Structure 1
């Protein structure tokens, strides 16, 4: 955990109908002072929406060579590399060389996030998916964040239903390929 980070506790009920995953999760997330609530919430949602055995949050900004979220199999091999926000092309290239699957989740305008990648060398860019939410959804949901938050995350037919401490909202899950 980074010095000065604030710990958040999330009691998550996850129902990913699209993938047949149903879990109750107790997660502790360190929020670095430079990290926005929107970024932290997007990181939490990326973890939930990519949930698989072996998934973990990285150590954050102090872990320069790691993505925000990743999963390893029983042998220790990376199975997914998940970036959050607006990673540069070099990070995506590195992640794609190191992991068979790479995904990006952003709370920003996906066109603006992807624009700097144009013309850059990104290994297997056609296999990398960029996920985003309806405009303003993350910002509205962030207002309900507390240090201890009860969360319900449901995905049904690429629609995200989210409840945070009584706040409820839904968003389409937008996905596109990097190239």
Structure 2
């Protein structure tokens, strides 16, 4: 954990009907001083939307050789490389070579994020999905963040329903592909 990192806790009731995943999560999330609330919240939502056995947060912004979230199998091999925000093409290329599956969750305009990778070499770029939310969704949720958070995260037909500390929000989960 980085010096000056702020710890946020999340008690989450997860119901992902699309994938048949139902669980109670207790997350301790270290927010690096240079990390925005929007990035941290997107990181938590990516964790929920990708939740499976072996998932975990990496060392965070200070960890240059790991994504924000990753999934390892029982042998320690990385099976899913889950980036958040607007990673550069080099990180995606590396992650795509290392893991079976690479995805990006962004709180930014996905078309601008994908445009930054144009004419860059990215291993298996056709297989990388970029997921985003409705415009304003993350910005509307950020004011509800506290140091200790209680949330319900439900997904049905790629529609995300979030109740964060009494604030209810809904968004589609949009998928964009690298051209």
- Residue in 2 that maps onto 1:36: 36
The TM-score, its normalising length taken from structure 1, stands at 0.99
- Residue in 2 that maps onto 1:74: 74
1:76-122: per-residue Cα shift (whole Å, max 9, x none)?
Answer: 11110000000011010000000010000000000111111011100
- Residue in 2 that maps onto 1:21: 21
Kindly indicate whether residue 142 of structure 2 is the aligned counterpart of residue 142 of structure 1.
yes
1:34-74: per-residue Cα shift (whole Å, max 9, x none)?
Answer: 11000000000000000010000011122110000001001
Runs of 4+ in 1 over 4 A off after TM superposition: none
Output the CA distance in 2 between the equivalents of 1:86 and 1:62: 16
Output the CA distance in 2 between the equivalents of 1:86 and 1:137: 17
- Residue in 1 that maps onto 2:47: 47
| Structure 1, unaligned runs of 5 or more | none
Q: Are the counterparts in 1 of residues 17 and 154 from structure 2 also a CA contact under 8 Å?
A: yes
The TM-score, its normalising length taken from structure 2, stands at 0.99
Root-mean-square deviation over aligned CA pairs: 0.6
Question: After superposition, where does 1:105-144 map in structure 2 within 5 Å?
Answer: 105-144=105-144
Output the CA distance in 1 between the equivalents of 2:172 and 2:144: 19
Alignment length, in residue pairs?
A: 179
Cα shift at 1:176:
1.8
Cα shift at 1:28:
0.2
Kindly indicate whether residue 58 of structure 2 is the aligned counterpart of residue 58 of structure 1.
yes
Q: Are the counterparts in 1 of residues 35 and 61 from structure 2 also a CA contact under 8 Å?
A: no
